[in-house]
C-alpha cells in the first residue's frame, strides 16, 4: 500500500519548514518491520509524521505507587519489585502454557501471570531483575496475582519509564498491534525525530502554547492530564492554520485573476419594484443589500454567503440583488436545489419582474419556459429566446440551468439558493462556468460559525438576523403515536378554521426491513380518511414534475387543505396560510432538517403549530427533539445538531469537502478557528 495524498497534512508546505525526516516511511522507526508496517498502514500510518500524529484515544494514570502489601483488589496500581522466582508451566493437554514470576518488594510477594508463555519471557524475567509492574489484583485471595500486567525493566540509572510510573497513552489500535507496542514505537519515534519537528514556517505567535515539538511529546506522554488539552490545541491550531491558508490563498489567487463586472445598478428597476412589493424591507434585509451593492460595484467579483433563518426573507434580497445586475444590462441566474423551489421562484420573479420589462426564464430537468414560450434554434444550437429580447433576463432553475448546455451569455450574477443542498465542489464548478460573475450564496441552514468560517472561509458572510414583523408564533410539541387521533382532531379543527397543514413522513414507500417507519404512499389514504371531506394532496420525489407542480398550485390556492409529503418540502416552500406541520417518525430526521420543515409554517399572521410524533425510547433521540420544543433559534439548533451528530450529518453527505482533522474539532474549536483566520489573514 502506498501512502495516500493527504490534502491537509498539517505539516504540509507552505506552513512548515523542512521536515524531510518526518516524511520518511514509518519503517525507519526501530522495531517497524514489514509486518508491523502493514498493521500500521491499516491505521493509515505510513510515515514517521503519521505515527507522531496518531492521537491517543485515552490515557491511563499509572503513577500511583503502592507497596505490594497495600494492593487492593480492583484498583489498578503500580508496584516495584525484584524477581525471586520465575518459570513456565506447561499443561498436559494441547499447547497451552503459562509463564509466571514472583516479585518481591520487602513488604510482600506478587505473582505475575501470562497465559501463553512466549519464548523470550524466560530470558527477560530472570531472578534478580527489578521491574515496575502495573496491574490490578485478581479476585483470588492468595497468592496476590496480576494477570497480564504491564511491566518495565528498571535499569540502573534509568528513571525514564515508558509504560509505567507515568500517565501512559492508549492509542487507537488494530488487531495484532498492542497498546504497548504502539507506545514503544511512539517513544522511539519521539526520541529519534523530536528534534526534527519544526515550528511552522509562518511563525505563529504562540506565547500561549507550547512549541510544536513539545506539544507532540505532551500529547503522547503528558506529565499531567491537563497538559493534554493544551497540546491538542496547539496541534489543532497548526491544522486549522494550514486549512485556512489553503482557503485564503485560493481566494487571493482568485481576486488577482478575476476582474469584476460592474453590477451595482442605478435603481431604475429597484424603485418601482420596491413600490409594488407590498411590504417594507426589514432593516436587516436593507443592510445586507447595502453590502451586496458595494460588492457588485467593487473591483473583485462578489463571493458572498447570505445566512438567514427560514422565513427571514432571503428571496426578496435575491430579487433586489438581481435587479442591480439587470439594471446594468447583465443577465442573472438563480439556482434552486429542487424543482418545486425553482418553480416557486419562477412564479414569484415572473410576478415581480415582468411588469418591469425583465424576462424571466425557467430551466429545470423537466420543464423549460423557453420551450413553451417558443425556444429558437440557431445553427443547431439552442439559444434562449430572451437573448433576442434585450435588455436582460433572469434565468431560474435547478442545476439543470448549468448542465443543459445552454449558453448563459452576459452573466453578471449567479445566485444559489439553499446552498447547503449543493456540495462545495459544485459551487466551485458553477462559478468557474461563467466569466467570473458575481456570486451570492444563500442558506437557511444556520451554519454554526465554526463550520461557516471553514467551509465558507473563502466567502464573505452576511447575516439576516431579524424576522419580518407581523408573524404568528410557532408552538412546537413532541408527542407519542398514541396521541395521533387527538392530533388529527386538532388538524381538522384548524382546517375548518380556514388554515392548511403539512403532514410529513420519512419514507416514500414502506420498506420490509423496517416496517415501523411510515411512508407517504401508505399513509396518504389514512390521512384522507382522517381529514375527509377536506382534500389532501400527495407529494414526493417519485411523482412526475408536472403533477408535483399541479399539487403545489392547488395547495397554494387552498383547493387542497392538507399536503402529505416527504422532506421534499423541506426547503423554501412558501404558503403562508399553512399553519400546521405534523411530522411522524420525527426521530428519523436531523435537527436542522426538522427546523427547516418547521420553517414551512409561521409564515403568515396566524399562530402556527409543529407537532413531532416519536415513540423513540432512546435518550439521545428524545433530547434532540426536546431542543426543538425549547427553541426556534436556528443557530442554537444547528450548533446542538453539530455537537450531537457531527458535521457530515448536519450538512449532508455531499459536503464531503470537509477536511478530516486529527486534533482540531470543527464543531468546537471556534476560538482556534478565529485565531487561525487572523494569523493567516495577516500573513496573506
- If we measure between CA atoms, which residue out of 67, 220, 76, 59 comes closest to residue 134? 76
d(CA 55, CA 659): 16
Residue 311 partner contact from ligand ADP, Mg ion, none using kind-dependent CB cut-offs of 5 to 8 Å: ligand ADP
The one among 316, 325, 411, 568 contacting ligand ADP by CB under 6 A:
316
Q: How many CA atoms lie within 13 A of 406 on its CB side?
A: 29
Q: Which stretch binds ligand ADP (CB under 6 A): 34-42, 281-289, 386-394, 420-428?
A: 281-289
Is residue 345 at the binding interface for ligand ADP, with CB under 6 A as the rule?
no
Residue 71 Cα distances to 66, 145, 316, angstroms: 7, 10, 73
Could you say whether residue 572 binds Mg ion (CB under 5 A)? yes
CA 556, CA 577: separation in Å to the nearest integer? 8
- Closest CB 344 distance from ligand ADP, rounded Å: 8
With CB cut-offs between 5 and 8 Å by kind, which of Mg ion, ligand ADP, none does residue 282 bind?
Answer: ligand ADP
Residue 165 makes contact with ligand ADP by CB under 6 A: no
Residue 311 is a binding residue for Mg ion (CB under 5 A): no
Q: Which residues pair with 82 in a beta bridge?
A: 104, 130
Smallest gap, in angstroms, from Cβ of residue 351 to ligand ADP? 11
Binding segment for ligand ADP among 232-240, 309-317, 585-593, 644-652 (CB under 6 A)?
A: 309-317
Of residues 59-88, those binding ligand ADP (CB under 6 A) = none
Segments in 121-202 forming alpha helices (H): 121-124, 179-193
Measured from the CB atom, the residue of 153 and 277 that comes closer to ligand ADP is: 277
Q: Which of 598, 589, 583 is nearest to 630 (CA)?
A: 598
Instruction: Considering only the stretches 224-232, 570-578, 583-591, 652-660, report the one whose residues sit in contact with Mg ion under the rule CB under 5 A.
Output: 570-578
The verdict on 312 binding ligand ADP (CB under 6 A) reads yes
- Name the residue whose CB lies closest to Mg ion: 572
For residue 576, report the phi and psi dihedrals to the nearest 5 degrees.
-60, -25
In the complex, what is the shortest distance from the CB of residue 602 to ligand ADP, in angstroms, rounded to a whole number? Answer: 10
| 472 makes contact with ligand ADP (CB under 6 A) | no
Binding segment for Mg ion (CB under 5 A), chosen from 177-185, 223-231, 545-553, 569-577, is 569-577
Q: Which stretch binds Mg ion (CB under 5 A): 8-16, 150-158, 543-551, 568-576?
A: 568-576
Phi, psi angles (nearest 5°) of residue 437 = -70, 165
In the complex, minimum distance from the CB of residue 504 to ligand ADP, in angstroms, rounded to a whole number: 17
Nearer to ligand ADP, 9 or 419 (CB): 419
628 in Cβ contact with 476 (< 8 Å): yes
Given the complex with ligand ADP, which of 341 and 565 has the nearer CB atom?
341
Q: Which of 298, 365, 468, 652 binds ligand ADP (CB under 6 A)?
A: 468
Which CB, 235 or 323, lies closer to ligand ADP?
Answer: 323
Question: Which of 444, 612 has the CB closer to ligand ADP?
Answer: 444
Could you tell me which of 310, 276, 150 has the C-alpha nearest to residue 637?
Answer: 310
- From 36-44, 265-273, 311-319, 503-511, span contacting ligand ADP (CB under 6 A): 311-319
In angstroms, what is the minimal distance from the CB of 349 to Mg ion? 13
CA distance 613 to 593: 15
Which of these, 567, 557, 569, lies nearest to 340 by C-alpha position? Answer: 569
Least distance between Mg ion and beta carbon 442 (Å): 7
Pairing of strands 130-135, 77-90: antiparallel
Quick one: CA torsion of 319, 323, 326, 331, rounded to 10 degrees?
A: -10
Strands 145-147 and 150-153: unpaired
Which does residue 499 touch among ligand ADP, Mg ion, none (CB within 5 to 8 A, set by kind)?
Answer: none
- The three cell numbers locating residue 74: 480492583
Q: Which of 576, 634, 659, 664 binds ligand ADP (CB under 6 A)?
A: 576
SS3 153: strand
Q: Under the criterion CB under 6 A, does residue 314 sit at the interface with ligand ADP?
A: yes
Asked if residue 337 binds ligand ADP (CB under 6 A), the reply is no
Phi first, then psi: give them for residue 160, nearest 5 degrees: -100, 115
What's the full length of the chain, in residues?
A: 684
Q: How is residue 633 written as a grid cell?
A: 433559534
62: cell is 499509572
Closest listed residue to residue 390, CA positions, set 355, 359, 427, 356? 359
Q: Are 108 and 68 a contacting pair, CB within 8 Å?
A: yes
Return the range that interacts with ligand ADP (CB under 6 A); candidates 19-27, 267-275, 307-315, 557-565: 307-315
Q: Which stretch binds ligand ADP (CB under 6 A): 133-141, 189-197, 280-288, 556-564?
A: 280-288
Q: Measuring CA to CA, which residue among 41, 143, 154, 49 is closest to residue 102? A: 143
Among 70, 279, 514, 542, binds ligand ADP (CB under 6 A): 279
Binds 321: which of Mg ion, ligand ADP, none (CB < 5-8 Å by kind): none
Give the integer Cα–Cα distance in Å for 95 and 75: 32
Angle (CA) 338 341 347, round 5°: 140
Q: Among residues 206 and 274, whose Cβ is nearest to ligand ADP? A: 274
Chain residues that interact with Mg ion, rule: CB under 5 A: 572
Chain residues that interact with ligand ADP, rule: CB under 6 A: 279, 281-282, 285, 308, 310-316, 444, 468, 572, 574, 576, 603
Amino acid at each position: 500500500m502506498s501512502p495516500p495524498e493527504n490534502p491537509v497534512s498539517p505539516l504540509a508546505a507552505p506552513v512548515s519548514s523542512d521536515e524531510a525526516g518526518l516524511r520518511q516511511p514509518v519503517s525507519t522507526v526501530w522495531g517497524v518491520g514489514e509486518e508491523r508496517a502493514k498493521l500500521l498502514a491499516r491505521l493509515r500510518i505510513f510515515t514517521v509524521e503519521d505515527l507522531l500524529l496518531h492521537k491517543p484515544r485515552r490515557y491511563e494514570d499509572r503513577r500511583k505507587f503502592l507497596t505490594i502489601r497495600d494492593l487492593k483488589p480492583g484498583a489498578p496500581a503500580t508496584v516495584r519489585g525484584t524477581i525471586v522466582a520465575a518459570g513456565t508451566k506447561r499443561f498436559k493437554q494441547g499447547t497451552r502454557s503459562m509463564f509466571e514470576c514472583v516479585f518481591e518488594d520487602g513488604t510482600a510477594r506478587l505473582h505475575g501471570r501470562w497465559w501463553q508463555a512466549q519464548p523470550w519471557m524466560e530470558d527477560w524475567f530472570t531472578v534478580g531483575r527489578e521491574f515496575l509492574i502495573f496491574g490490578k489484583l485478581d479476585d483470588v485471595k492468595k497468592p496476590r496475582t496480576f494477570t497480564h500486567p504491564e511491566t518495565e525493566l528498571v535499569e540502573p540509572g534509568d528513571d525514564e519509564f515508558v509504560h509505567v510510573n507515568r500517565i501512559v497513552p492508549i492509542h487507537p489500535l488494530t488487531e495484532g498491534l498492542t497498546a504497548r507496542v504502539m507506545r514503544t514505537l511512539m517513544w522511539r519515534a519521539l526520541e529519534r525525530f523530536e528534534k526534527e519537528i519544526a515550528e511552522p514556517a509562518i511563525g505563529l505567535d504562540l506565547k500561549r502554547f507550547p512549541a510544536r515539538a513539545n506539544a507532540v511529546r505532551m500529547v503522547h506522554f503528558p506529565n499531567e492530564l491537563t497538559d493534554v488539552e493544551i497540546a491538542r490545541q496547539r496541534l489543532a491550531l497548526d491544522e486549522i492554520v494550514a486549512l485556512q491558508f489553503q482557503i485564503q490563498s485560493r481566494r487571493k489567487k482568485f481576486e488577482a485573476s478575476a476582474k469584476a463586472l460592474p453590477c451595482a445598478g442605478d435603481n431604475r428597476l429597484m424603485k418601482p419594484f420596491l413600490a409594488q412589493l407590498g411590504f417594507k424591507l426589514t432593516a436587516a434585509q436593507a443592510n445586507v443589500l447595502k453590502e451586496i451593492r458595494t460588492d457588485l460595484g467593487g473591483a473583485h467579483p462578489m463571493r458572498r454567503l447570505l445566512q438567514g433563518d427560514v422565513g427571514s426573507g432571503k428571496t426578496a434580497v435575491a430579487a433586489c440583488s438581481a435587479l442591480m445586475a439587470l439594471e446594468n444590462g447583465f443577465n442573472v441566474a438563480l439556482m434552486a436545489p429542487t424543482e418545486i423551489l425553482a418553480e416557486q421562484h419562477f412564479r414569484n420573479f415572473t410576478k415581480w419582474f415582468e411588469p418591469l420589462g425583465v424576462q424571466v426564464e425557467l430551466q429545470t430537468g423537466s420543464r423549460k419556459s423557453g420551450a413553451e414560450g417558443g425556444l429558437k434554434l440557431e445553427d443547431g444550437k439552442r439559444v434562449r429566446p430572451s437573448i433576442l429580447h434585450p435588455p436582460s433576463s433572469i434565468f431560474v432553475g435547478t442545476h439543470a440551468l448549468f448542465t443543459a448546455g445552454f449558453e448563459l451569455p452576459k452573466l453578471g450574477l449567479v445566485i444559489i439558493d439553499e446552498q447547503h443542498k449543493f456540495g462545495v465542489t459544485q459551487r466551485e464548478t458553477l462559478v468557474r462556468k461563467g466569466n467570473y460573475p458575481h456570486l451570492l450564496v444563500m442558506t437557511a441552514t444556520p451554519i454554526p460559525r465554526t463550520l461557516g468560517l471553514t467551509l465558507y472561509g473563502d466567502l464573505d458572510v452576511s447575516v439576516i438576523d431579524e424576522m419580518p414583523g407581523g408573524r404568528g408564533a410557532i408552538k412546537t410539541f413532541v408527542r407519542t403515536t398514541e396521541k395521533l387521533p387527538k392530533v388529527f382532531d386538532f388538524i381538522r379543527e384548524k382546517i375548518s378554521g380556514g388554515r392548511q397543514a403539512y403532514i410529513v413522513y420519512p419514507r416514500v414507500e414502506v420498506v420490509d426491513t423496517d416496517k415501523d417507519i411510515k411512508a407517504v404512499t401508505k399513509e396518504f389514504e389514512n390521512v384522507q380518511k382522517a381529514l375527509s371531506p377536506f382534500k389532501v394532496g400527495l407529494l414526493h420525489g417519485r411523482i412526475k414534475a408536472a403533477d408535483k407542480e399541479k399539487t403545489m398550485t392547488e395547495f397554494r390556492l387552498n383547493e387542497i387543505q392538507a399536503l402529505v409529503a416527504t422532506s421534499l418540502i423541506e426547503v423554501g416552500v412558501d404558503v403562508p396560510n399553512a399553519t400546521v406541520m405534523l411530522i411522524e417518525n420525527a426521530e428519523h430526521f436531523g435537527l436542522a432538517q426538522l427546523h427547516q420543515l418547521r420553517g414551512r409554517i409561521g409564515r403568515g399572521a396566524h399562530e402556527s403549530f409543529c407537532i413531532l410524533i416519536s415513540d423513540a425510547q432512546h435518550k439521545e433521540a428524545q433530547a434532540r427533539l426536546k431542543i426543538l420544543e425549547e427553541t426556534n433559534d436556528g443557530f442554537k439548533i444547528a450548533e446542538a445538531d453539530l455537537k450531537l451528530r457531527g458535521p457530515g450529518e448536519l450538512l449532508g453527505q455531499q459536503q464531503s469537502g470537509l477536511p478530516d482533522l486529527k486534533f482540531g474539532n470543527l464543531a468546537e474549536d471556534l476560538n482556534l478557528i478565529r485565531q487561525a483566520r487572523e494569523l493567516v489573514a495577516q500573513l496573506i
